[in-house]
Homo-oligomer: A and B are copies of this chain.
């Protein structure tokens, strides 16, 4: 009862972390009871539970996650894959995900693709190796499906959820906004202010968001009785730099549109910068609209008219869906959150003079 105390020396040097055995011994119960007291308290007598808890407090016991994972085949970790961590658009989404995951007892590992496909393989290996129980995908496709080609393994064995960038054809829950409707709304807003020549700064070619938003732009044009002019579509990729480039494109033109709809706030801010440098005034000479409503949109000069996305809620919804899957509960295949048109100062009614 006291002989089996410590295995040899107990100098204060290496005070090995307490194991479940130490707790069991101190509480005078079996290790199974300790385990149960932690996992399913209701299945343990109040008395035993109290003794276990006391022993845990006394020993400072913290369960070893590796052992737990090895035995239970559950990691309580979720992988979140995103195209670009530096994009401020994602940070609040991440917050929403993390807080929901945390409440459900899951940890979050972030996989930042940073624009390189090789990294995707790296994170795919995480799932293959069983490092995580599930994943939230923000980058618009399934692992190993970069080319959308044949051998696309529809699933890699763990629950998956797509967030923001829908993955066409994938049989997993998709959480997103109605990009098409939002883009249409903004286009109509611009048209309602008298603009008849509305340029469109696109996202990366092939991107699903771009596809949807472009369709919305066309919808809006049509709804306003405006005809589509391909010359008014300026390529972009959602970055500040591409917005700057789009601005140069615009400035160089002989005849300019009276309004520009940028499909990301970062592009809108970069574009306005170029316009200013060229001596053009926003919104007096040209109106500029964005998309996303990132933090800087409200403090840009002029403050940016844009589409607000409920970023935190988007993250929460995705995490909630994944947790449901993880716990074997059903979850809707598609969740669409509402956006909002935020009117600020970068868009003005077209002056008939102009």
Other-chain contact of A130, B66, B85, B110, B303 (Cβ < 8 Å): B66
Q: Are B88 and A95 in contact, with the CB atoms below 8 A?
A: no
Which residue of chain B is the closest to A126 with respect to CB atoms?
B107
A109 to B94, CA, bound (A): 13
- List 26 A–B pairs whose Cβ atoms lie within 8 Å, in order of A's numbering: A17-B130, A62-B128, A65-B129, A65-B130, A65-B131, A66-B66, A86-B92, A87-B91, A91-B91, A94-B112, A95-B114, A98-B112, A102-B122, A107-B109, A107-B126, A107-B131, A108-B110, A109-B109, A110-B110, A240-B295, A243-B299, A270-B299, A272-B299, A273-B301, A276-B301, A296-B296
Which residue of chain B is the closest to A157 with respect to CB atoms?
B17
A98 to B82, CA, bound (A): 14
With an 8 A cutoff between CB atoms, is A269 at the interface?
yes
CB distance from A132 to the nearest CB of B (A): 10
- What residues of B have a CB within 8 angstroms of the CB of A117 in the complex? none
Binds B, one of A67-75, A138-146, A182-190, A324-332: A67-75
Q: Are B296 and A272 in contact, with the CB atoms below 8 A?
A: no
Q: Which of A64, A66, A69 has the most chain B CB within a 10 Å cutoff? A: A66
A98 to B86, CA, bound (A): 13
- What residues of B have a CB within 8 angstroms of the CB of A91 in the complex? 85-88, 91
Q: Are B86 and A129 in contact, with the CB atoms below 8 A?
A: no
What sequence of 0s and 1s flags, for each residue 258-292 of chain A, a beta carbon within 8 Å of any chain B beta carbon?
Answer: 00000000000110110010000000000000000
Q: Are A125 and B295 in contact, with the CB atoms below 8 A?
A: no
Number of copies of this chain in the oligomer?
2
With an 8 A cutoff between CB atoms, is A24 at the interface?
no
Q: Which of A128, A269, A295 has the most chain B CB within a 10 Å cutoff? A: A295
Q: Are A95 and B85 in contact, with the CB atoms below 8 A?
A: yes
Other-chain contact of A86, B75, B102, B295 (Cβ < 8 Å): B295
Q: Given A109-B109, A299-B270 in contact, is the A130-B64 Cβ separation under 8 Å?
A: yes
CB distance from A197 to the nearest CB of B (A): 24
A66 to B69, CA, bound (A): 6
With an 8 A cutoff between CB atoms, is A164 at the interface?
no
- What residues of B have a CB within 8 angstroms of the CB of A125 in the complex? 62
What sequence of 0s and 1s flags, for each residue 17-34 of chain A, a beta carbon within 8 Å of any chain B beta carbon?
Answer: 100000000000000000
A54 to B75, CA, bound (A): 29
Q: Are B301 and A301 in contact, with the CB atoms below 8 A?
A: yes
What sequence of 0s and 1s flags, for each residue 116-137 of chain A, a beta carbon within 8 Å of any chain B beta carbon?
Answer: 0000001001101111000000
Which residue of chain B is the closest to A270 with respect to CB atoms?
B299
With an 8 A cutoff between CB atoms, is A244 at the interface?
yes
- What residues of B have a CB within 8 angstroms of the CB of A273 in the complex? 298-301, 303
CB distance from A279 to the nearest CB of B (A): 13
